[in-house]
Amino acid sequence: MGKKVWLWNHYATDMYKNRGGRHYWFAKNLIERGYEPTVFCANTFHNKVGFIDTNNKKYTTDNLDNIPFVFVNTKAALENGLDRLKNMGLFYKNLFSVAKEYAKIYGKPDVIIASSVHPLTMVAGLQIAKKLGVPCICEIRDLWPEAIFSFNKVKEGSLLGRILIRGEHWIYKNADALIFTKEGDTDYIKERKWDTAQGGSIDLSKCYYINNGVDLKAFEESTFNNEVNDEDLDSEKFNVVYVGAIRPVNNVGNILDAALLLKDEENIQFLIYGDGNQKGMLEERVRNENITNVKVKGFVNKSLIPNILSKSSVNILNYSNTQYNWARGNSSNKLFEYMASGKPIISTIQMGYSILEKYQCGIELEESTPQNLADSVLAIKNMSEKQYRIKSQNAKSAAEDFDFGRLTERLIDVIKEVQ
């Protein structure tokens, strides 16, 4: 029998629905390597209507692609606020009885991997792992509460801010191992002076880096099996493609500003796929300013994204420079899908621990101005065929290093370390 691995991610319900995502792919690859993973998640979907019916019980189960899923009963939450807090709290509270009952039926795990975003999942992981006498690996996919502080939702010096920081430190100190998704996230521990080298209590040797990535086989199958019939995408024009959320942190209006500067370049068009609270504003700008070289395509199913990206000429990572700390790197799922498409990438920000720079598969702008973005689009378009092919091949090679088969091998190394 292989080692039992419990993967805890409050929001993995979306991975169950989409048959893809970090913990779905980890579980799939762990099975291929002889492990027995089980994914624990809420019975509700993140910011979506609908839920998995638990028949008024604490949990229900299902088996998808040989991956056991455990759906913990929670309360629906479509907006941030009280319902969101109740949703988090119920997931935390119910995990204790669910874990106890599930272990009684199927046996206790050899290791628990408790993943953020919110910290209560990791707190439950540490507490329940201690009760069961097994190690707990905490996975930090977003530095929380730093992300809350950066969006000014909570002041760092406030009572709540100080409590959150103390809780974060407790998690880092008590975890048997820490996995960070951005290469520079351990710098945060040093900045806080929490590492043992500065007299703190956290040994950096138990910190590991496993970024997000892509299932290349699934990506390539989807590219060929889910054809997008779109006359703009299928045209002979130079397609500048953005796929993703349309909200302030993505600063998509910057793309429209760049497009206006290139309106006389008849062979260049900008195609924007995605949805968000600023989509209507973009569409209004396109109409009112007569931006004829931009098409706002709206929401697309995840299964269609690989085919869309494969038909691009260049893909844009477009972010706000002010609403996030990019110094520690990037763990955006979109980055790895862009690389898997084998097309050059333009990032509107410079990142620490830059993957684009390391693999030489794109351009990062020193300043996120419309003019710089427009110039970068022209630079890619005017490359020689050989230069363009090298950038494209580099992107594909980078994606291979972040294929979930390789990432799972790194995860297994961490599991072995805590056994």
pLDDT digits (tens, 9 = 90+) for 72-116: 999 876 666 788 788 899 999 999 999 999 999 999 999 999 999
| pLDDT for position 273 | 96
Say what percent of the chain tops pLDDT 90: 83
Query: Quick one: 202 and 83 in the same domain?
Result: yes
Residue 350 above 80 pLDDT?
yes
| pLDDT for position 386 | 97
Q: Which residues contact 143 (CB under 8 A, 6 or more apart)?
A: 185, 188, 328
Q: Which residue range(s) make up the domain with 365?
A: 216-401
Q: Tokens for 419, please give them.
A: 């056994």
Residue 360 above 70 pLDDT?
yes
| pLDDT for position 1 | 61
The CA distance from 108 to 5, in Å, is: 9
Query: Quick one: 232 and 342 in the same domain?
Result: yes
Query: Quick one: 112 and 206 in the same domain?
Result: yes
Interval 272-283 mean pLDDT: 94
Query: Quick one: 149 and 287 in the same domain?
Result: no
3-state helix, strand, coil in the chain (%, to 5): 45, 20, 40
| pLDDT for position 409 | 98
Query: Quick one: 233 and 176 in the same domain?
Result: no
Residue 333 above 70 pLDDT?
yes
Place of tokens 């893809």: 20
Mean pLDDT value across the chain: 93
Residue 177 above 90 pLDDT?
yes
Sheet (strand 59-64) strand order: 59-64, 67-72, 36-42, 4-8, 111-115, 136-140, 177-180, 207-209
Confidence of residue 2 (pLDDT cuts 50, 70, 90): confident
| pLDDT for position 325 | 79
CATH of residue 224's domain is: 3.40.50.2000
| pLDDT for position 323 | 62
Interval 149-153 mean pLDDT: 77
Interval 398-404 mean pLDDT: 97
Query: Quick one: 52 and 200 in the same domain?
Result: yes
Say what percent of the chain tops pLDDT 70: 98
Q: Tokens for 193, please give them.
A: 């002076």
| pLDDT for position 122 | 97
Amino acid at 101: E
Confidence of residue 254 (pLDDT cuts 50, 70, 90): very high
Residue 319 above 90 pLDDT?
no
| pLDDT for position 322 | 65
Across 63-72, 144-153, 179-188, least confident range: 144-153
The CA distance from 31 to 5, in Å, is: 10
366, with CB counted inside 10 A (0-12, 13-18, 19+), is exposed
Q: Residue 4: beta bridge partners? A: 36
190-228 residue pLDDT tens: 999 999 999 999 999 999 999 999 999 999 999 999 999
Interval 257-262 mean pLDDT: 97
Query: Quick one: 52 and 190 in the same domain?
Result: yes
Number of DSSP helices (H) and strands (E) in the chain, helices first: 16, 14
The number of angstroms, rounded, from the C-alpha of 71 to the middle of its chain's C-alpha atoms is 21
Torsion angle of C-alpha atoms 161, 207, 250, 7, degrees rounded to 10: -90
Query: Quick one: 202 and 238 in the same domain?
Result: no
DSSP string computed for 343-374: --EEESS--TT-HHHHHT-EEE-SS--HHHHH
Query: Quick one: 47 and 98 in the same domain?
Result: yes
Q: What is the DSSP letter of 202?
A: B
Residue 136 above 70 pLDDT?
yes
Query: Quick one: 224 and 358 in the same domain?
Result: yes
Question: In this structure, are strands 177-180 and 314-317 parallel, antiparallel, or unpaired?
Answer: unpaired
Asked if 417 and 180 touch (Cβ cutoff 8 Å), the reply is no
25-67 residue pLDDT tens: 999 999 999 999 999 999 998 767 778 999 989 999 999 999 9
Which phi and psi angles does 107 have, rounded to 5°? 95, 150
| pLDDT for position 78 | 64
Query: Quick one: 31 and 141 in the same domain?
Result: yes
Query: Quick one: 85 and 129 in the same domain?
Result: yes
| pLDDT for position 137 | 98
The CA distance from 356 to 362, in Å, is: 6
Number of folded domains that form the chain: 2
